[in-house]
Amino acid sequence: MLFLSLLVFGASLVHARPAQTRAASAFVDPTTGGGSWLDVAGTGVGEPMNVVISGLSSPAVLTDDGITNFARAIGFSTECFDIHLGAPQSANLGDGNGQVNQTVELRQDFGSSSIGTCLESLIGGNHFRVFRQNGTMADTGALFLAVSKEENVAEGHTIVANGYNIGRDNLVSAAVGTTSFDGVTYSTTSETLTGVMPAGTDGVNHGIAIDGNAILLTVQID
């Protein structure tokens, strides 16, 4: 009887104190933690983080190497000879980390993952900056991408007209469906996050209007 009583008592303790686990989440809206959907590109202006790689994607995609390989599968690669000109941009993703510099910047490679981004640096094209949401207030692992299409070097790499919306839509078009690089195959779905940013030009770098939407991509490795 004593043994049975101990078993019942132990079971009651288990039910009274369930194991604490962190629920998986696609992302947390940066504004709920004091952050913003605009990064910081200069005094009083920023660029929209208009694509989010979901924290529910395959974990390998969300690493530095993983996002670089996925980028190569959809037509982007690292900067020409790993040379970055200009100061990095920063962002507050409302995760408790405050303002943090971009993790990496990736550029359109025009079909050549080795030297194609050198061509992008000359003639312009699509590019994006990566920011990771991993602070103690919102440890989702989601990647926020600031995507835009830029002019050629003669134009100082400014953003083309409507370049934030165009850059976002071009990246999403390349990503959705099945893609692959270096033996890794990806299956990607998209969801529109309507109105997460104010539409228009207020606070947006170069005074280029945005539609206020972001796209959530969930990327699974097959």
69 phi, psi to nearest 5 deg: -70, -40
How many angstroms separate the CA atoms of 130 and 67, rounded? Answer: 9
Region 86-94: what's the mean pLDDT? 89
Residues paired with 81 in a beta bridge: none
State residue 158's pLDDT score.
81
CA 108 remoteness from chain centre: 16
Whether residue 110 is predicted with pLDDT greater than 60 in this model: the reply is yes
Least confident of 6-10, 17-21, 208-212: 17-21
How many angstroms separate the CA atoms of 7 and 56, rounded? Answer: 38
How many angstroms separate the CA atoms of 22 and 110, rounded? Answer: 40
Q: Which distant-in-sequence residues (6+ apart) come within 8 Å of 144 by Cβ? A: 27, 30, 49, 51, 52, 91, 93, 130, 131, 132, 133
Residue scoring higher pLDDT (41 or 17): 41
Whether residue 19 is predicted with pLDDT greater than 60 in this model: the reply is no
Kindly report the CA angle at 26 between 20 and 28, in degrees rounded to 5? 80
**The token pair that represents 34 in the structure block:** 């004091």
Region 19-27: what's the mean pLDDT? 62
State residue 34's pLDDT score.
98
pLDDT digits (tens, 9 = 90+) for 193-213: 999 999 999 999 999 999 999
Least confident of 1-5, 133-137, 138-142: 1-5
Whether residue 187 is predicted with pLDDT greater than 70 in this model: the reply is yes
State residue 157's pLDDT score.
62
State residue 61's pLDDT score.
98
State residue 105's pLDDT score.
94
Domain boundaries, the chain: 25-221
Whether residue 147 is predicted with pLDDT greater than 50 in this model: the reply is yes
pLDDT digits (tens, 9 = 90+) for 26-78: 999 999 999 999 999 989 999 999 999 999 999 999 999 999 999 999 999 98
State residue 111's pLDDT score.
81
Q: Which distant-in-sequence residues (6+ apart) come within 8 Å of 63 by Cβ? A: none
CA 207 remoteness from chain centre: 22
The burial class, CB within 10 Å (0-12 / 13-18 / 19+), for 166 is: middle
How many angstroms separate the CA atoms of 85 and 128, rounded? Answer: 14
What mean pLDDT value characterizes the chain? 87
